[in-house]
């Protein structure tokens, strides 16, 4: 049966989101067919990513475009009583709310959970706050960067020999939040559909981060110590790590897990130091002499291109991979085979290509992604067609700064 991936078609979700995780969660729902209406206002309620970059045009920030593909835009001032009323009316015509504001911001505007569920008992509400909606630090301001540190991940994400923590320049917790958010959203929509009852989900991004360190916390809890950073070492493989290759800042990773992979590795490297060496005969020996093994491996890799290292080892059945840059990703034959990048020939920031999703539905056509609609571009259609207001009323609201 042929079909498209617009699985959530017919589902309407209002989003109150800013930054990375919340908006991108909306984008991933829109990409699978949901009608995602992003509610913002120039009166203190613009997505902060509209200000990233050098553009003056609030629709032309690359970060904003990236995180809001496929999303519709309603500009309504929530601090105006009429604006808040319109959102309540829309909640009556929507299936779900997605928001990542600090706790109680929407409650103060008369848009709290109880208020909205009075209007729509089946409404699903998914919240993605940094520290959760309840608890002594729930009012804390957090970015993904800070959450990485708080969870223990920054402390763990280092080479053992470093004298200070480095962790990551990035915002890993946001990435976790924007996949967990849509997952919880669809689960809750399904529950609401099956039971006729709405549900509220409090998905703390800090706990989403900690969800990926559960084995480490168990280690700490059961064995009573703080686990140390492992860097690129793996207690079940050697050689295991990231090795310098020919060229500027080129690297290849290699994992040799068992004797079969070890023998294949030795064949490819072809070094007499390796194959016949009794110290390396089993995994225990290889782990014990991991340092020596790593230097020998690097001597072999640094005269070869990263691509050559990967392809010769993979051809022999040894796990290996190029440490790819952004430029490498765009020409990666496997990603191209998956039709991974959505291409936009023309946009406010010029042409670009952008990753679609980590998953494919086999046998289903993928509908092209759309650029975000311009700020406020959907006001007339949303208020007219969904809520039934006439043109004159909508124009008046624009003049009165209800819609702004």
Partner 1 sequence: MNETTTALLPGFRVLDLTSSMGALCGKLLGDLGMDVIKVEPPGGDAARSEPPFAKGRTDPEGSLRFAYLNAGKRGITLDPTKAGGRKVLLDLIARSDIVLETFAPGYLAAHGLGYEAFLARRPDLILVSLSGFGQDGPYAHFKTTDIIGNAMGGLLYISGDPTMTPCNPPETQSYYYASLFAAYGALLALWQRESRGIGAWIDASIQASMALHEHVAFNYSAEGRVMKRAGSQHQHNAPANLFQCKNGWISLFVTQNHWPILLKVWEGHDPELDDPKWINSNLRRQHADYINAQVTSFTLRFLKEELAELLQEHGIPGLPVNSPSDFMNDPHIQARGFFAAVDHPALGSFSQAGSPFMVDGERPSPSPAPLLGQHNEEVFCAELGIGSNKLAALAAEGAI
| CA 266 to each of CA 261, 272, 276, 313, 318: distance values in angstroms, whole numbers, following the listed order | 9, 9, 9, 10, 10
Q: Which is nearer to partner 1, 224 or 270 (CB)?
A: 224
d(CA 56, CA 43) in angstroms, rounded, equals 17
Q: Is 372 in the site for partner 1 (CB under 8 A)?
A: no
Site for partner 1 in 330-349 (CB under 8 A): 330, 332-335, 337-338, 340-341, 349
Among 131, 265, 300, 389, binds partner 1 (CB under 8 A): 131
Site for partner 1 in 226-285 (CB under 8 A): 226-227, 229-232, 234-237, 240-242, 244, 249, 251-253, 255, 257, 261
Among 92, 259, 361, 365, binds partner 1 (CB under 8 A): 361
Residue 352 CB, nearest approach to partner 1 (Å): 4
Residue 309 CB, nearest approach to partner 1 (Å): 11
Residues 157-176: x/- map of binding to partner 1 (CB under 8 A)? Answer: xxx--x-xxxxxxxxx--xx
Q: Which is nearer to partner 1, 226 or 385 (CB)?
A: 226
Q: Is 210 in the site for partner 1 (CB under 8 A)?
A: yes
Among 277, 312, 324, 393, binds partner 1 (CB under 8 A): 324
The distance between the two most distant Cα atoms of the chain, rounded to a whole number of Å, is: 87
Which of the stretches 71-79, 81-89, 218-226, 269-277 binds partner 1 when contact is defined by CB under 8 A? 218-226
Contact 347, 65 (CB under 8 A): yes
Q: Is 288 in the site for partner 1 (CB under 8 A)?
A: no
Residue 11 CB, nearest approach to partner 1 (Å): 8
Residue 188 CB, nearest approach to partner 1 (Å): 6
d(CA 247, CA 306) in angstroms, rounded, equals 9
d(CA 384, CA 371) in angstroms, rounded, equals 22
Q: Is 305 in the site for partner 1 (CB under 8 A)?
A: no
Distance of CA 138 to the CA centre of its chain: 22
Which residues on neighbouring strands pair with residue 240, listed in sequence order?
A: 255
For 82, the 3-state DSSP assignment is helix
Contact 211, 179 (CB under 8 A): no
d(CA 153, CA 131) in angstroms, rounded, equals 16
- In the block, residue with structure tokens 């993904």: 144
Site for partner 1 in 3-32 (CB under 8 A): 3, 7-8, 28, 32
Q: Is 189 in the site for partner 1 (CB under 8 A)?
A: yes
Q: Is 148 in the site for partner 1 (CB under 8 A)?
A: yes
Contact 252, 241 (CB under 8 A): no
Q: Is 216 in the site for partner 1 (CB under 8 A)?
A: yes
Q: Is 2 in the site for partner 1 (CB under 8 A)?
A: no
| CA 197 to each of CA 10, 13, 87, 113: distance values in angstroms, whole numbers, following the listed order | 18, 16, 20, 13
Contact 12, 338 (CB under 8 A): no
Q: Is 350 in the site for partner 1 (CB under 8 A)?
A: yes
- In the block, residue with structure tokens 């500027």: 248
**What is the size of the binding site for partner 1 (CB under 8 A)?**
146
Q: Is 153 in the site for partner 1 (CB under 8 A)?
A: yes
Which of the stretches 181-189, 277-285, 370-378, 382-390 binds partner 1 when contact is defined by CB under 8 A? 181-189
Q: Is 46 in the site for partner 1 (CB under 8 A)?
A: no
Within 8 A by CB and 6+ apart from 291, the residues are none
Which residues on neighbouring strands pair with residue 59, listed in sequence order?
A: none
- In the block, residue with structure tokens 């796990």: 319
């Amino acid at each position: 049966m042929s079909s498209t991936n617009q699985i959530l078609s017919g589902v309407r979700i209002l989003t109150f989101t800013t930054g990375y995780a919340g908006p991108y969660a909306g984008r991933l729902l829109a990409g699978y067919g949901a009608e995602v209406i992003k509610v913002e206002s120039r009166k203190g309620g613009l997505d902060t990513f509209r200000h990233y970059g050098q553009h003056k045009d609030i629709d032309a920030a690359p970060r904003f475009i990236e995180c809001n593909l496929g999303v519709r835009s309603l500009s309504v001032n929530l601090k105006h009583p009429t604006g808040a009323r319109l959102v309540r009316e829309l909640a009556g015509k929507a299936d779900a709310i997605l928001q990542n504001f600090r706790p109680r911001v929407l409650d103060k505007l008369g848009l709290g959970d109880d208020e909205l569920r009075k209007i729509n008992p089946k409404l699903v509400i998914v919240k993605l706050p940094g520290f959760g909606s309840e608890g002594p630090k729930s009012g804390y301001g957090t970015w993904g960067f800070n959450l990485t540190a708080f969870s223990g991940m920054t402390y763990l994400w280092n080479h053992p020999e470093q004298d200070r923590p480095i962790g990551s320049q990035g915002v890993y917790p946001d990435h976790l939040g924007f996949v967990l958010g849509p997952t919880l959203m669809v689960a809750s929509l399904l529950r609401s559909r099956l039971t006729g009852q709405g549900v509220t989900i409090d998905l703390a991004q800090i706990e989403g981060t900690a969800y990926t360190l559960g084995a480490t916390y168990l280690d700490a809890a059961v064995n009573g110590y703080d686990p140390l950073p492992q860097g690129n070492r793996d207690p079940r493989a050697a050689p295991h790590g990231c090795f310098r290759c020919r060229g500027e800042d080129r690297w290849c990773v290699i994992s040799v897990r068992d004797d079969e992979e070890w023998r294949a590795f030795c064949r490819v490297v072809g070094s007499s130091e390796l194959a016949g060496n009794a110290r390396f005969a089993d995994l225990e020996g290889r782990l014990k002499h991991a340092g020596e093994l790593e230097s020998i491996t690097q001597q072999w890799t640094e005269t070869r291109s990263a691509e050559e290292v990967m392809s010769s080892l993979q051809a022999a059945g040894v796990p290996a991979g190029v440490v790819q840059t952004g430029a490498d990703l765009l020409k990666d034959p496997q990603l191209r085979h998956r039709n991974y990048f959505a291409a936009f020939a023309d946009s406010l920031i010029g042409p670009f290509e952008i990753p679609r999703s980590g998953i494919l539905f086999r046998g289903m056509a993928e509908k092209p992604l759309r650029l975000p609609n311009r700020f406020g571009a959907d006001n007339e259609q949303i208020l007219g067609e969904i809520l039934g207001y006439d043109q004159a009323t909508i124009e008046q609201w624009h003049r009165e700064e209800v819609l702004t």
